[in-house]
């Protein structure tokens, strides 16, 4: 029961975040979390700002032959957006791996929570 409530909250959170995405946030939600899915990986992706620099990095999740990713969420943290961008560059929904790229605005940093959901 606890798990179910958590999943419902996670889905509601995902919907709320996706509404905000186009307006102010640099977050994304891909796919859908179904009941029975688990959090396969959660990563904190953080860089402080550096004068005049654009910073980038990639974060990957690699499952095994039975793994199926159902949802990928990159949620920018913090009260004010630093206007970074995040997007999937390979793998993704329905596959067993995903790589997400993060890119800062010039002189800014980023702070994300990256969640990969699915069947292990
Ligand atoms: C990621 O998944 C794709 C499609 O299943 C596969 O071709 C590729 O080898 C996988 N990459 C890794 C690093 O596992
Ligand atoms: C890999 O597969 C096994 C079942 O063969 C599963 O129990 C395990 O959780 C999987 N590992 C990952 C990282 O998904």
- Whether the per-residue pLDDT at 78 is higher than 90: the answer is yes
Ligand showing the shortest atom-to-Cα distance for residue 118: 2
Residues of the domain holding 89 = 2-119
Write down the pLDDT at residue 22: 40
Could you tell which of 63, 67, 97 is best to mutate to test the pocket of ligand 1, judged by most ligand atoms within 8 Å of the CB?
Answer: 97
User: pLDDT per residue over 85-106, tens digit each?
Assistant: 999 999 999 999 999 999 999 9
| Dist. CA 71–CA 85, nearest whole Å | 18
Residues pairing with 103 in the sheet: 56, 85
DSSP letters spanning 53-66: ---EEEEEEE--TT
User: pLDDT per residue over 1-33, tens digit each?
Assistant: 444 444 444 444 444 444 333 434 699 999 999
DSSP letters spanning 65-119: TT-EEEEEEEEE-SSS----EEEEEEE-TTSSEEEEEEEPPTT--EEEEEEEEEE
What's the chain's average pLDDT? 86
Write down the pLDDT at residue 19: 38
Nearest CA to ligand 2 atom 9: 120
Residue with tokens 């940093």: 109
In the chain, the number of structural domains is 1
- Whether the per-residue pLDDT at 58 is higher than 90: the answer is yes
Write down the pLDDT at residue 24: 45
Ligand showing the shortest atom-to-Cα distance for residue 64: 2
């Amino acid at each position: 029961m606890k798990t179910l409530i958590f999943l419902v909250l996670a889905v509601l959170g995902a919907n709320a975040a996706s509404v905000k995405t186009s307006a102010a946030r640099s977050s994304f939600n891909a796919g859908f979390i179904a009941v029975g899915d688990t959090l396969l990986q959660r990563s904190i992706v953080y860089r402080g700002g550096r004068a005049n620099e654009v910073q980038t990095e990639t974060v990957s999740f690699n499952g095994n032959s039975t793994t199926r990713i159902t949802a990928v969420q990159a949620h920018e943290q913090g009260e004010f957006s630093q206007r970074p961008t995040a997007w999937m560059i390979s793998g993704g929904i329905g596959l067993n791996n995903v790589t997400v790229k993060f890119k800062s605005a010039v002189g800014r940093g980023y702070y994300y929570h990256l969640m990969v959901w699915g069947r292990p």
